[in-house]
Amino acid sequence: MGQSARKGQSARKGPTARKGQSARKGPTAPGGPITSDEEPRRRVAAVVAYDGRPFRGFAHQPGQRTVAGELAEALERVSGHEVEITCAGRTDAGVHAWGQVVHFDTAAGVDLVALKRSCNKMLAPAIVLREVAEADPQFDARRSATARRYRYVLLTAPLPDPFLAGLAWQVERPLDLRALRLGCDPLLGEHDFAAFCRRPKAPVSDEGTASEPSLVRRVTDATWRKGPGDLLYFEIEANAFCHQMVRSVVGTLVDVGCGRRKAGHVASILASRDRSTAGQLAPPDGLYLLHVSYAPTGSAPLPDPAHSTPQRGEVADVPRSPYR
C-alpha cells in the first residue's frame, strides 16, 4: 500500500521549497534552517493524522494538493533540506487517517521537538504530526509494518448530517447488524482478494514479460459494532491491503445488511476472484487508516498500540455530530 513519495510539492501558487530555502515565511528550527549536505543524517518516524477531504490522496502528484506534498514542504522549511517521505499505507483521495506512519531522513542537528511543533503550526488542523521520534536507520514505515487497521464509518439515517459531510457514508436505511457480522466470517484468514480489489497493472520485466501481482492478503480481524446515535463502525485488520479493498468489502457488506445479498454469498464472491461479482464501491468519505502495527522487537520508536489506537469513547472514535 505504501510507497515513497517524491519531493513534496504543494498545489498552491508560488515557488516550491528548494534545498536550503523556504518558499514562504514560516517557523524554522532553532538556529535557522540546516543547509549542510555533509551533516550526518538520521532516520525519523512519525505518526500522522489527517482529514482527507481537501487532498487528492496521500502520495505526491504534480499540480495536486496531497498529504505527502504538504507534509514534505513543511518538513523542508523547518529542516532546511530536501525530505523524501515513505508511508505505511498510501490512501486515496478523500480517505482520512488517525494513525498513518511515515519515515524520512533529517540532518542530525534538527530538534525533533521543535520540528513537530513548527510543522503542526503550518499544517494543522488538516494534517497533524501526533508523534515524532528518531528511528533505527533500517526502519521502513512500509516494509517494517506487520499489519494495518482501517475503520469505516456509516451513518444509517434518512436525513444527511451536515457535521458528518465527507466523514461518513450515509445509508438511508437501518442495516441488519447480525447479517453484517455473519458476512465478515469468510473474510478471515489468507485469501486471494481479487474480487474486492482494483486489479493493478502487471509490472513488465527486463525480458518484456508481465507478471500479475499477487492479491493474496491475510485478514486477522473484521468486525462491526454500533456507534453513537445512527453510526456504525466497521474495522478490518490485515497484513496488507489491495487498492480499494476495504471500500469494496464495505460496499458488499452493506448489500448484505440491506438484504440485497445473503451473508453466505460473501464466500462465493471471494472464491470467484471476479470484481464484477462483488457489490458497490463504498465512497472514500467514511474510510480511516486507524493504526499500523510493527513487531514488538522492531526499532520503530512509535507509541504503544494502546496509546496510538483510539479506544471506544475517545475523540478519534468520532466523527459524531454535536447533536447526536
The predicted-structure confidence for 253-303, as pLDDT tens digits, reads as follows: 999 999 999 999 999 999 999 999 999 999 999 999 999 999 975 444 555
Say yes or no: 11 and 102 in one domain: yes
Q: Mean pLDDT across the chain, nearest whole number?
A: 84
For residue 311, is it within any domain? Answer: no
> How large is the average pLDDT for residues 125-147?
96
User: Whats the size of the chain, residue-wise?
Assistant: 324
For residue 246, is it within any domain? Answer: yes
Domain CATH number, residue 191: 3.30.70.660
Structure confidence at residue 283 (pLDDT): 97
Q: Is residue 46 very low, low, confident or very high in pLDDT (cuts 50, 70, 90)?
A: very high
Say yes or no: 123 and 30 in one domain: yes
Domain range for 46 is: 4-134
Alpha-helix residue ranges (DSSP H) falling in 3-96:
67-79
In this structure, the dihedral spanned by the alpha carbons of residues 77, 83, 86 and 92, taken in order and rounded to 10 degrees, is 50
Say yes or no: 98 and 222 in one domain: no
For residue 300, is it within any domain? Answer: no
Structure confidence at residue 10 (pLDDT): 39
Structure confidence at residue 77 (pLDDT): 96
Residue 143 has pLDDT above 60, yes or no: yes
For residue 141, is it within any domain? Answer: no
Q: Of residues 37, 51, 92, 161, which has the active-site annotation?
A: 92
Say yes or no: 232 and 102 in one domain: no
Lowest mean pLDDT among 71-85, 90-104, 174-188, 201-215: 201-215
Kindly give, in sequence order, each residue whose CB lies less than 8 Å from that of residue 159, ignoring residues fewer than 6 positions away. none
Structure confidence at residue 198 (pLDDT): 84
Can you tell me the distance from the alpha carbon of 130 to that of 108, in angstroms, rounded to the nearest whole number?
Answer: 21
Say yes or no: 242 and 159 in one domain: yes
Entry pTM: 0.81
Name the residue among 295, 165, 161, 149 with its Cα closest to residue 230: 161
**Grid cell for residue 145:** 509494518
Say yes or no: 114 and 154 in one domain: no
For residue 160, is it within any domain? Answer: yes
Does residue 92 carry a catalytic annotation? Answer: yes
Structure confidence at residue 305 (pLDDT): 38
Give the count of domains, the chain: 2
Say yes or no: 57 and 109 in one domain: yes
